[in-house]
């Protein structure tokens, strides 16, 4: 069975040699990016210039599976201090919703979690996270709008440490990756938490909207430079998003996708599994 985004291509060219331009267009439309598309086309060409569409699709699957790493172990709590997760991203990607779903994912595994409403800029951002907290029965720490989000995260770490809460999830303000001053503020949040624990935050997760397309790679590069990303949360896979951004980011930057969001419900969230992803989403 060919990948979803190649099914039309395979059906169209099943009777003869694959059309190289059509294959390239299909790969780019799937948001695999120029670099990964070029890599796949070179791998297909090694099979011969008259390769058929089915073989081309098989090579595509093989190369994507080579790029995507197998699922790593889930982040486990630290023995003597809170494990901090910094959730970052541009506006509108589903960052606050993903923070809440991630907190639920931890608590469903039997671990305590504290959410921090560190988005002190967007109107109603604090109330949105509080609503999720009430819905999921997870505590939310908040400050004032316009307040110092770095100081809030600093105090939240103290609270989590004192109360022996294993996980601290900081929902930071959405910011355009092109605004250097906002990215510097994000770096400040990371540095401030690091005063408690030089290894913190343990995870820096970028929330990426699957419908963003090739711009997702640019976002990942900028945020990676600012905070050192450890992974991606890929959201809105229930819509028109192809999911190829996960492959492109992994191929170009070596940043793995850790979680995926497939809907608005709390349970529409899962740890990333490359086989499931390739077989059911791409």
92 annotated to bind ligand = yes
Least-confidence region, from 3-7, 14-18, 161-165, 252-256: 14-18
Polymer length of the chain: 282
236 annotated to bind ligand = yes
Cβ pair 240, 250 in contact under 8 A: no
84 annotated to bind ligand = no
pTM across the whole model: 0.91
* Separation of first and last alpha carbons in the chain: 12
Rounded Cα distance between 261 and 239, Å, is 11
152 annotated to bind ligand = no
Percent of the chain with pLDDT over 70: 95
Q: What is the mean pLDDT of residues 208-221?
A: 86
Rounded Cα distance between 182 and 174, Å, is 9
19 annotated to bind ligand = no
274 annotated to bind ligand = no
> Domain 4-67 - what CATH class?
mainly alpha
pLDDT at 177 (0 to 100): 52
Q: What are the pLDDT digits (tens) for 111-162?
A: 999 999 988 877 788 899 999 999 999 999 988 877 788 899 999 999 999 9
90 annotated to bind ligand = yes
175 annotated to bind ligand = yes
Cβ pair 77, 163 in contact under 8 A: no
Looking at every residue in the chain, the average pLDDT score rounds to 87
H or E segment at 258? Answer: strand 257-261
If one counts every other C-beta atom within 10 angstroms of the C-beta of residue 115, the result is 27
pLDDT surpassing 80 at residue 70: yes
124 annotated to bind ligand = no
CATH number of 83-279: 3.40.50.300
95 annotated to bind ligand = yes
Top mean pLDDT of 9-13, 70-74, 253-257 is at 253-257
By DSSP bridging, strand 203-209 and strand 113-118 are: unpaired
Q: What is the mean pLDDT of residues 4-8?
A: 84
Could you tell me which residues come within 8 angstroms of residue 92 by beta carbon, excluding any fewer than 6 positions away? Answer: 174, 209
Chain region(s) in the chain for CATH 3.40.50.300: 83-279
Rounded Cα distance between 194 and 189, Å, is 9
Is the bond into 201 cis (omega within 30 degrees of 0)? yes
Sign of the Cα torsion 249, 223, 228, 145 reads: negative
173 annotated to bind ligand = yes
pLDDT at 260 (0 to 100): 92
93 annotated to bind ligand = yes
91 annotated to bind ligand = yes
38 annotated to bind ligand = no
Cβ pair 275, 243 in contact under 8 A: no
Instruction: Kindly list the distances between the CA atom of residue 129 and the CA atoms of 20, 98, 135, 143, 275, in Å, as whole numbers in the listed order.
Output: 47, 10, 10, 12, 32
pLDDT surpassing 90 at residue 211: no
230 confidence band (pLDDT: 50, 70, 90): very high
237 annotated to bind ligand = yes
Helix, strand and coil content of the chain, in percent to the nearest 5, comes to: 45, 15, 40
Chain region(s) in the chain for CATH 1.20.120: 4-67
């Amino acid at each position: 069975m060919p990948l979803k985004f190649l099914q039309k291509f395979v059906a169209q060219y099943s009777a003869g040699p694959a059309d190289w331009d059509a294959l390239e267009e299909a790969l780019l439309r799937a948001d695999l990016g120029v670099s990964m598309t070029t890599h796949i086309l070179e791998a297909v060409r090694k099979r011969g210039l008259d390769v058929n569409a089915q073989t081309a699709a098989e090579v595509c699957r093989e190369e994507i599976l080579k790029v995507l790493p197998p699922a790593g172990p889930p982040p486990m709590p630290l023995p003597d201090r809170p494990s901090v997760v910094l959730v970052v991203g541009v506006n509108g990607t589903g960052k606050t919703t993903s923070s809440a779903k991630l907190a639920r994912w931890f608590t469903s595994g039997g671990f305590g979690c504290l959410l921090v409403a560190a988005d002190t800029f967007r109107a109603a951002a604090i109330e949105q996270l509080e609503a999720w907290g009430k819905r999921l029965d997870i505590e939310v720490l908040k400050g004032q709008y316009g307040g110092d989000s770095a100081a809030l995260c600093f105090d939240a770490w103290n609270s989590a440490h004192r109360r022996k809460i294993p996980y601290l999830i900081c929902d930071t303000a959405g910011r355009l990756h092109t605004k250097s001053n906002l990215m510097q503020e994000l770096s400040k949040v990371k540095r401030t938490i690091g005063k408690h624990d030089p290894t913190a935050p343990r995870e820096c997760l970028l929330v990426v909207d699957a419908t963003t397309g090739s711009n997702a790679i640019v976002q990942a590069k900028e945020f990676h430079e600012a905070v050192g990303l450890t992974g991606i949360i890929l959201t809105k896979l229930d819509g028109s998003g192809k999911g190829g951004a996960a492959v492109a980011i992994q191929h170009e930057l070596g940043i793995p996708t850790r979680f995926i969001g497939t809907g608005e419900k709390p349970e529409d969230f899962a740890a990333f599994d490359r086989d499931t992803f390739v077989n059911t989403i791409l």
